[in-house]
């Protein structure tokens, strides 16, 4: 089982049996992204058995004893997805990523546990991280325990950095801020140095790259999800958007035909691929997860760091004061703890079903005004309380999205049903006439199609309440 460090933040150290770590030197000469990818890919193919498209790779730049290195963490995508599903909103670490960032790592004695040994070879001047069999770890060398959660810096986290992980082989993609300033270590052979030398380009030919499109906002993506769900007569069990996760969009669904639902999501222009998990059946109704990935041409916001806590605290205050009238309650506010690498402010709240969409729009509008945007958002519906629990994190990084998302039938997509409208039989005489909803001034906000073909139309009446009228199918 993974070592979970319990504190006011959720941090988890991945067990060595589920990952491997490798140190490779950074190139000295400036190289293009594609060449760097090939360099990393070549090293992992040589050193990691079974390296393939199913491998998830985290890349960190570190400096040890005056030399620049890349720390590569490798694990199977399926295992990483399992951790993300079982431990949502949890930051992942490895003992290697923690120790390699310790000051004077080269001068410390080796770290030895029952499963791994991590240290620095002073003769070859190279860092190492190796797995151990249980009988290989000498008890006399073992350290006392894992470090406490408070002492683990966020910069040591894996699979939560600005780059989203490396795709192996021909699909290799790396988003590293330091790509233009990388350096090749002095002990690399001339042959290896020549292999990664940037090819000459024709100065008369101007290289152009296609302009990236902007990914829709998290709220717009949620609105698209609701539209797919209601049109297919199914329900959302849980919804999570996390742009820095290996699975950026994870949706738990109940009902419908999984292959048909998958096809509906693939019709969205920004969805590149969609994978269906194991399908279970509850009373002959399918229950499953969809893992969705965005197309590369849709760019995520360029994230920046908070330089202090003033901006996130002012955002907290504005959101808090604005949603009070909507009967939403704040559960937790978590300002960024450091101002180093990209950091995030987080908010948890509970909202009644009839105001959750307003709350979401208030949060998005407040963040946009501060040139921030949501990087993580999850929604869970409580049928007993008739309320939603919302968790979201954000950082500086504006996301242009002109869509209005004020009439999302979010609660209905999660299975909430409005209280039935009480109707009375009225004899139509010359003096009494039944008025249609539009004639009463009600506002039509949407409609859903049930599995039996019947249609439910939703209105907001003159008192601001949501009511529904059901019509029989054809």
Better pLDDT: 199 or 12: 12
Mean pLDDT of 3-12: 54
- pTM over 0.85? The answer is no
Q: What digits encode the pLDDT tens for the residues 240-253? A: 998 876 678 999 99
* pLDDT-based confidence at residue 427 (cuts at 50, 70, 90): very low
Contact between 303 and 375 (Cβ < 8 Å): yes
Q: Is the pLDDT of residue 166 over 70?
A: no
Task: State the CB neighbour count (10 A cutoff) for residue 126.
Answer: 18
Angle formed by the axes of helices 218-231 and 258-266, to 10°?
A: 140
Distance CA(13)–CA(90), nearest Å, equals 10
Distance CA(285)–CA(116), nearest Å, equals 45
Contact between 95 and 111 (Cβ < 8 Å): yes
Structure tokens belonging to residue 70? 């890349």
Contact between 376 and 392 (Cβ < 8 Å): yes
Burial class (CB in 10 A: 0-12, 13-18, 19+), 333: middle
pLDDT of residue 66: 85
pLDDT of residue 173: 31
Region at 104 (left for phi over 0; alpha for psi -120 to 50; beta for the rest): left
Angle 328-238-254 (CA atoms, 0-180°, nearest 5)? 130
pLDDT of residue 28: 78
Distance CA(224)–CA(403), nearest Å, equals 11
Q: Cα separations (Å) of 50 from 60, 74, 114, 356, 429?
A: 21, 11, 24, 46, 80
Q: Is the pLDDT of residue 112 over 90?
A: no
What percent of the chain has pLDDT above 90?
A: 30
Q: What digits encode the pLDDT tens for the residues 369-383? A: 998 989 889 999 988
pLDDT of residue 352: 92
pLDDT of residue 149: 57
Q: Cα separations (Å) of 324 from 59, 180, 296, 336, 371?
A: 43, 48, 39, 24, 23
How much is the CA Rg of the chain, to the nearest whole Å?
Answer: 26
Burial class (CB in 10 A: 0-12, 13-18, 19+), 251: buried
Domain spans of the chain, in order of start = 3-195, 218-413, 419-474
pLDDT of residue 474: 53
């Amino acid at each position: 089982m993974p070592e979970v460090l319990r504190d006011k933040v959720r941090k988890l150290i991945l067990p060595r049996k589920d990952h491997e770590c490798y140190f490779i030197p950074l190139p000295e000469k400036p190289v293009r992204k594609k060449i760097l990818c090939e360099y990393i890919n070549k090293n992992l193919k040589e050193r990691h058995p079974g390296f393939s498209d199913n491998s998830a790779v985290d890349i960190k730049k570190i400096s040890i004893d005056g030399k620049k290195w890349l720390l590569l963490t490798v694990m199977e995508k399926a295992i990483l997805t399992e951790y993300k599903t079982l431990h949502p909103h949890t930051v992942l670490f490895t003992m290697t990523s923690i120790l390699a960032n310790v000051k004077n790592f080269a001068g410390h004695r080796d770290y030895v546990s029952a499963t791994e040994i991590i240290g620095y070879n002073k003769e070859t001047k190279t860092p190492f991280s190796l797995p151990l069999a249980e009988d290989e770890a000498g008890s006399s060398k073992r350290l006392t325990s894992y470090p406490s959660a408070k002492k683990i810096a966020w910069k040591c986290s894996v699979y939560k950095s600005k780059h989203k992980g490396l795709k192996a082989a021909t699909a290799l993609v790396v988003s590293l801020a330091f790509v233009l300033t990388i350096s090749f270590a002095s002990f690399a052979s001339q042959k290896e140095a020549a292999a990664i030398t940037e090819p000459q380009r024709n100065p008369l030919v101007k290289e152009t790259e296609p302009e990236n499109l902007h990914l829709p906002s998290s709220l717009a993506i949620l609105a698209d999800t609701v539209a797919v769900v209601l049109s297919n007569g199914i329900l959302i069990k849980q919804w999570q958007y996390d742009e820095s996760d290996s699975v950026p969009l994870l949706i738990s669904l109940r009902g419908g035909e999984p292959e048909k639902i998958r096809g509906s999501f693939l019709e969205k222009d920004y969805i590149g691929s969609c994978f269906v998990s194991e399908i279970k059946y509850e009373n002959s109704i399918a229950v499953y997860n969809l893992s969705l990935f965005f197309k590369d041409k849709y760019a995520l916001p360029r994230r920046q760091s908070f330089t202090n806590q003033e901006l996130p605290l002012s955002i907290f205050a504005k959101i808090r004061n604005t949603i009070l009238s909507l009967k939403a309650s704040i559960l937790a506010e978590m300002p960024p703890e450091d101002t180093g690498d990209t950091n995030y402010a987080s908010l948890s709240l509970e909202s009644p079903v009839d105001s959750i969409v307003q709350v979401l729009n208030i949060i998005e509008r407040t963040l946009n005004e501060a040139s921030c945007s949501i990087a993580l958002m999850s929604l869970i519906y409580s049928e007993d309380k008739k309320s939603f629990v919302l968790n979201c994190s954000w950082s500086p990084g504006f996301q242009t999205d002109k869509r209005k998302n004020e009439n999302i039938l979010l609660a209905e997509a999660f299975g909430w049903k409005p209280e039935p409208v009480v109707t009375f039989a009225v004899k139509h005489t010359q003096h009494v006439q039944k008025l249609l909803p539009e004639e009463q001034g009600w506002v039509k906000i949407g409609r859903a199609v049930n599995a039996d073909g019947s249609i439910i139309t939703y209105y907001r009446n003159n008192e601001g309440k949501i009511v529904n009228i059901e019509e029989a199918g054809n």
